[in-house]
């Protein structure tokens, strides 16, 4: 590290949220240090792609390290510097009804969490039941690119459905933020397609809004399904097929090609037509206000009497 | 550097897979199916299979009869032939003595596997087509053989 090791902000994790925050702060002249527990892509995704192609089981996190097999009973995940659940482990996870049978038994949740790395604490809440990546770019490496907006009712879950909570913000207050996020990701969609859902979902877009790129065309099987659905009803509503907004290019944009249909969004787009957060991370770092340290595991935050997070424990190999 | 396979290897492979010699030679250019099979499956088995095939050819047997004879030959010749077919179609092979240990030796073996041609598609993760191709029906099967 150079002479200047003073930073205004430290961000833990170089995923989409960390990278976007770093980029926005850096554009305002704020010096940012990002601590990322996993490694960085070293060869423009060639190694990850080859690992995917030669894997006999092609699962959502197959291309990415660590490569230990989650079902190997002889392997202790605690030996990994930055372990995370493997897709194969999910096949053996308890289902929703089994969790209910646990009836909030802390011991069972503690044992499960120790084995699966699903939650941060010894909570007795339902754990996070999916996989994620610990590397620069985070889980956007293996996301599908689905970029739906929330609906108005998502912000009013308690008053609408008696579940969860109502948010202190509304969808319309987030219109500009959604537009910026869809621009940063590069979303391909037809706003007309999405407006067709307004009778069911309510408005989701301001007047005159257009997505950054035209929609991805429907596949042959989508077209066949759409035709079959025509004239059918469910619950008294006409059925129709609409395209989902996609975080992948439908044209050359910002140095990235249009989707070539590799059919492997999950787990890896070999040509980066699909957005991943390494792009935003590069934009952040190119300001020279952002330093990313990889393979640096933050294990704890100390919070002082004034509520300030003023120290951290940092484990670096 | 990989060894130039004997022509009998391509002739027998064409007989077993239903694809043309030219298609198989093209695949071999990209990924060494001949040499790597020997390495992983076990040395000597391919030579034995090819000698049985040659004997049938020398005897003037018809191609379909040769294929049937080999696939009914019992262990080890029949097993080798079936492992070779699976290798061509799926790009994966296991050692004879360790059948659970399936391996895809390289990305090119995966990409050149015949199954993709048979289903008129590209390998997942290896597309050579252009944006939007999926909106149109695939090319006819003959274009892939």
Domains of chain B, residue spans: 7-143
Query: In degrees, to the nearest 5, what angle opens at C-alpha A136 toward C-alphas A132 and A142?
Result: 40
Q: What are phi and psi of B44, to 5 degrees?
A: 95, -25
pLDDT digits (tens, 9 = 90+) for A274-290: 999 999 999 999 999 99
pLDDT at A301: 78
Q: Is the pLDDT of residue A37 over 90?
A: yes
**What's the whole-number mean pLDDT along residues A121-144?**
83
Q: How far is CA B68 from CA A303, B20, B26, B41, in A?
A: 76, 18, 26, 22
CA-closest candidate to residue A178, choices A144, A199, A157, A155: A155
Contact residues, chain B, for A263 at CB < 8 Å: 122, 124-125, 127
Residue B133, pLDDT score: 96
Q: Does the pLDDT at position A1 exceed 60?
A: no
Residue A212 lies in a domain: yes
Helix or strand run (H / E) with residue A291: strand A290-293
Note the pLDDT of residue A317: 41
Mean per-residue pLDDT, A90-115: 76
3-class DSSP state of A121: coil
**Rounded distance between C-alpha atoms, residue A108 and residue B103, angstroms:** 38
Percent of chain A at pLDDT exceeding 70? 86
Packed helices B45-58 and B7-17: angle between N→C axes, nearest 10 degrees: 80
| Residues of chain B contacting A53 with CB distance shorter than 8 Å | 104, 106-107, 110-111, 123, 125-126
Using an 8 Å CB-CB cutoff, list chain B residues near A264. 124-125
A188 touching chain B per CB within 8 A: no
Would the CB atoms of A264 and B131 count as touching at under 8 Å?
A: no
Q: Is residue A238 part of a domain?
A: yes
**Which pLDDT does position A310 carry in this prediction?**
57
Structure confidence at residue A89 (pLDDT): 75
- Gap between the Cα atoms of A198 and A151, Å rounded: 10
A258 in contact with B, Cβ within 8 Å: yes
Across the interface, whether the CB atoms of A223 and B106 are under 8 A apart is answered no
Is the backbone peptide bond immediately before A267 cis, with ω within 30 degrees of 0?
A: yes
Q: Per residue in A168-185, is it b (16+ CB within 10 Å) or e — as a string?
A: eeebeebbeebbebbebb
Do the domain assignments include residue A166?
yes
Element (H, E) at A310: strand A309-315
Rounded Cα distance, B145 and B142, in Å: 5
Could you give the C-alpha distances from A34 to A31, A55, A231, A309, B125, in angstroms and in order? 10, 32, 53, 16, 31
Report if residue A96 sits inside a domain.
no
Q: Of A22-36, A114-128, B23-37, where does mean pLDDT reach its minimum?
A: A114-128
Question: Cβ contact (<8 Å) for A258 and B131?
Answer: yes
B17 and B88 Cβ atoms separated by less than 8 Å:
yes
Mutate to test the interface with A, among B40, B111, B135 (most CBs of A within 10 A): B135
Task: Kindly tell me the burial class for residue A133, based on how many C-beta atoms sit within 10 Å of its own C-beta (0-12, 13-18, 19 or more).
Answer: buried
**Residue A195 Ramachandran class (φ > 0 left, ψ -120 to 50 alpha, else beta):** alpha
Q: Rounded to the nearest 5°, which phi and psi values hold at A179?
A: -60, -40
pLDDT at A70: 57
Contact B124 A263 (CB under 8 A): yes
Residues A273, A260: Cα–Cα separation, whole Å? 8
C-alpha A22/C-alpha A16 separation (Å) is: 10
Distance (Å, whole) CA A11 – CA A24: 12
Characterise B20 by phi-psi region: left (phi > 0), alpha (psi -120 to 50), beta (else).
beta
SS3 A290: strand
pLDDT tens figures, A161-204: 999 999 999 999 999 999 999 999 999 999 999 998 898 899 99
Q: Which of A132, A141, A133 minimizes the C-alpha distance to A267? A: A141
Determine, yes or no, domain membership for A140: no
8 A C-beta contact, residue A187 and residue A147: yes
What is the span of the domain harbouring residue A193? 146-247
Name the band, by pLDDT with cuts 50, 70 and 90, for residue A125: low
Interchain contact, A53 vs B104, CB within 8 Å: yes
Q: Which residues of A221-240 are buried (b: 16+ CB within 10 A; e: fewer)?
A: eeeeeeeeeeeeeeeeeeee
Would the pLDDT of A128 be above 80? no
Number of independent structural domains in chain A? 1
Residues of A in contact with B124 (CB under 8 A): 58, 262-264
Q: What is the pLDDT of residue A121?
A: 54
Categorize the per-residue pLDDT at A82 as very low, low, confident or very high, splitting at 50, 70 and 90: confident
SS3 B90: helix
Cβ contacts of A84-92, under 8 Å, gap ≥ 24: A84/A117, A84/A131, A84/A132, A84/A133, A84/A134, A85/A116, A85/A117, A85/A118, A85/A131, A85/A132, A86/A59, A86/A61, A86/A131, A87/A59, A87/A60, A87/A61, A87/A62, A87/A131, A88/A57, A88/A59, A89/A116, A90/A129, A90/A130, A90/A131
Burial class (CB in 10 A: 0-12, 13-18, 19+), A56: middle
Residues of A in contact with B110 (CB under 8 A): 53-54
Query: What does the pLDDT profile of chain B (145 residues) look like in tens digits?
Result: 578 999 999 999 999 999 999 999 999 999 999 999 999 999 999 999 999 999 999 999 999 999 999 999 999 999 999 999 999 999 999 999 999 999 999 999 999 999 999 999 999 999 989 999 999 999 999 988 8
- Select the residue of A49, A56, A218 nearest B104 (Cβ to Cβ): A56
Least confident of A72-86, A223-237, B81-95, B105-119: A72-86
Closest CA to A296 of A22, A23, A40: A40
User: Are B105 and A52 an interchain contact pair (Cβ–Cβ within 8 Å)?
Assistant: no
Cβ neighbours of A270 in B, within 8 Å: 125-126
Q: Give residue A152's Cα distance to chain centre.
A: 22
Give how far A49 is from chain B: nearest CA, Å: 8
Higher pLDDT, A196 or A212: A212
Q: What does the pLDDT read at residue A109?
A: 76
């Amino acid at each position: 590290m150079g002479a200047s090791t003073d930073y205004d902000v430290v961000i833990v994790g170089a995923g989409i949220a960390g990278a976007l925050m770093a980029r926005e702060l850096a554009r305002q002249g704020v010096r940012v240090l990002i601590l990322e527990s996993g490694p960085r892509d070293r060869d423009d995704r060639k190694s990850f792609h080859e690992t995917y192609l030669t894997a006999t089981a092609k699962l959502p996190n197959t291309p990415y390290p660590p490569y230990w097999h989650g079902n190997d009973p002889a392997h202790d995940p605690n030996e990994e510097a930055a372990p995370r659940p493997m897709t194969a482990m999910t096949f053996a996870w308890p289902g929703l009804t089994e969790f209910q049978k646990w009836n909030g038994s802390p011991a069972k949740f503690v044992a499960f969490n120790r084995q699966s790395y699903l939650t941060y604490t010894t909570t007795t809440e339902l754990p996070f039941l999916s996989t994620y990546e610990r590397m620069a770019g985070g889980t956007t490496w293996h996301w599908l690119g689905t970029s739906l907006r929330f609906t108005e009712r998502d912000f009013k879950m308690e008053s609408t459905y008696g579940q969860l909570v109502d948010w202190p913000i509304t969808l319309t207050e987030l219109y500009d933020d959604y537009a910026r996020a869809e621009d940063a990701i590069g979303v391909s969609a037809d706003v007309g397609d999405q407006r067709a859902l307004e009778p069911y979902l309510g408005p989701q877009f301001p007047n005159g809004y257009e997505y950054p790129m035209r929609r991805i065309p429907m596949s042959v099987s989508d077209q066949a399904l759409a035709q079959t659905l025509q004239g059918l009803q469910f619950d008294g509503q006409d059925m129709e097929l609409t395209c989902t907004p996609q975080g992948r290019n439908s044209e050359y944009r910002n140095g990235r090609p249009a989707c070539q249909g590799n059919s492997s969004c999950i787990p890896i787009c070999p040509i980066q037509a699909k957005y991943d957060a390494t792009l935003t991370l590069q934009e952040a770092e190119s300001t020279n206000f952002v330093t990313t340290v990889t393979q640096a595991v933050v294990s704890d935050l100390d919070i002082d009497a004034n509520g300030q997070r003023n120290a951290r424990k940092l484990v670096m190999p | 550097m990989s060894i130039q396979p004997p022509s009998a290897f391509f002739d027998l492979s064409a007989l077993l897979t239903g694809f043309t010699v030219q298609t198989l030679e093209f695949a071999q250019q990209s990924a060494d199916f001949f040499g790597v099979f020997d390495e992983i499956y076990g040395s000597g088995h391919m030579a034995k299979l090819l000698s049985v095939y040659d004997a049938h050819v020398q005897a003037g047997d018809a191609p379909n009869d040769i294929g049937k004879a080999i696939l009914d030959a019992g262990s080890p010749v029949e097993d080798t032939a079936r492992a070779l077919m699976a290798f061509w179609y799926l790009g994966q092979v296991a050692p004879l003595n360790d059948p659970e240990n399936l391996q895809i030796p390289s990305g090119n073996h995966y990409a050149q596997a015949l199954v993709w041609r048979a289903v008129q598609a590209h390998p997942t993760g290896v597309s050579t087509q252009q944006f939007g191709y999926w909106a149109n029906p695939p090319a006819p099967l003959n274009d892939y053989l």
